[in-house]
A = this chain, B = another copy of it.
Amino acid sequence: MTKRVLPLRKFIKPTFESLIEKKRDGGEFTQEEIRYIIDSTLDGEMPQHQLAALLMAIYFANMSAQETADLTEEMMLSGEVIDLSHIAKPKIDKYSTGGIGDKTSLVLVPLAMAAGVVVPMMCGVEHDYVINTLEKLCAIPGFKPHLSNEQFANQLAKINGAICAQNEDLAPADAKYYELRKETGTIPSLPLITGSVLSKKLAEGAEGLVIDVKWGNGSFIKDLEQAKQLARSMTRVGRSMKRRCVALVTDMNQPLGDTVGTSLEIKEAITLLKGGGPEDMKELVLKLGMEIVRLAGVAGSTLSAKQTVQRHLTDGSALEKFKELVKAQGGDTTYVDHPEKFPMAKHIRKLPAPKRGYVHTINAAMIAHGVHLLGAGRDHHGKVDHSVGVSEIKKVGTQVKQGEPLMMIHYNDESKLEQALNYFKEAYRLAPKRPTPPPLVVERVA
């Protein structure tokens, strides 16, 4: 674990006002200025109101590629940077901007581990109603989400993979910025998103990163063009920080897979690890998996990458690695062997199609909101109901008869169901003609 070194040279501190004005007028910060801003944020020297004005100026006046890279690096260096150089194997991480029903990491991490790739994955806090990978893993009794940096590194050396909570000593500047951004309308700034995500990810010690940038009604990025820009911004910064980087821009205009909810998603992931599962999830796992093994140098050609991914999913080696990971972090692996052990919700009922037709659109955010209301997210007491959620989601383009289930709702509490139902009903739009389902992978940025 290395701490930042501060070669402050002969840097004459500018006033915070002059820095704000510089950015306001479209100026480009030097690395020293960015370092000074971040240091001043950390030690509380720069007042919050000046930082807020600066963030809004960055939102409007943007940052150059070089500034964004400097921002990322300085934010990363604001805390611990995990050193994994003693592990000889290729170290590749995966990051998603967050999607509904997205259980790819649960499959990809063990898959890559099986292929001889080390995956040092730390998960940040949830955005809105997105349930993160770690929350899903916690549906397995005994699973410990927290590892010290040392435990993390040891586990990686031993079994190739770890999925744990982001430690607060990684890129602490980001936490300060993120809090302020939430309150000041400056979340959707490409350079700030890039800096926030990559500073933490690159502090985890990976040499390469596969990024899944999601766009659509279930993502915080609603606009495809913006998603493409973010993908370019992230890969550019990653490269300038000497990391191998590939980003896929993927569809999040409907939930991924058939399920949303912690246990339900773990069970779907286990099915995928056995080579089964819904088509969209299989496709995404394949595409992202191929990027990981190629970035790691484990597979050279596209064909070889595809074969590597498919082999580990069908020969049981990825599933075996999943059990190793669960076990290493204290989880009860009998749940993986016998997914029927996951407690079921008291009630399961269908969401009936109000008329015949084709599923035209699904608002994924509304599905997530509904599932959250059922109890799948942390409540005020920090409790999660692991049994609730939705399954057998009818996807865009599916033909349904009137009364046929659009999905199955797993719930424990009738009073919660009522509210959630409104969201589920609102989420579905049926139409008489078959729509063209959106492409799952829109663009690859390398």
Contacts and interface: CB of A to CB of B under 8 A. Distances in A.
Interface in A176-190: 180, 182-186
A20 interface: yes
Copies of this chain in the oligomer: 2
Interface stretch (A54-62, A66-74, A210-218, A228-236): A54-62
A107 interface: no
Interface string A21-32: 100100000000
A53 B50 contact: no
A436 to B, nearest CB: 30
Contacts of A55: 53
Interface in A26-65: 47-53, 55-57, 59-61
Interface residues of A, number: 24
A185 B60 contact: no
A369 to B, nearest CB: 17
A95 interface: no
B183 A24 contact: no
A49 B185 contact: no
A418 interface: no
A335 interface: no
Nearest to A57: B56
For A48, A49, A183, the residue with the greatest tally of chain B CB atoms inside 10 Å of its CB is A49
Q: Name the 3 nearest CB pairs between A and B, nearest first.
A: A53-B184, A56-B56, A20-B185
Interface of A: 16-17, 20-21, 24, 47-53, 55-57, 59-61, 180, 182-186
22 contacts: A17-B182, A20-B56, A20-B184, A20-B185, A21-B185, A24-B185, A47-B183, A48-B49, A48-B52, A49-B52, A49-B184, A50-B52, A50-B183, A50-B184, A52-B52, A52-B56, A53-B55, A53-B56, A53-B184, A53-B185, A53-B186, A56-B56
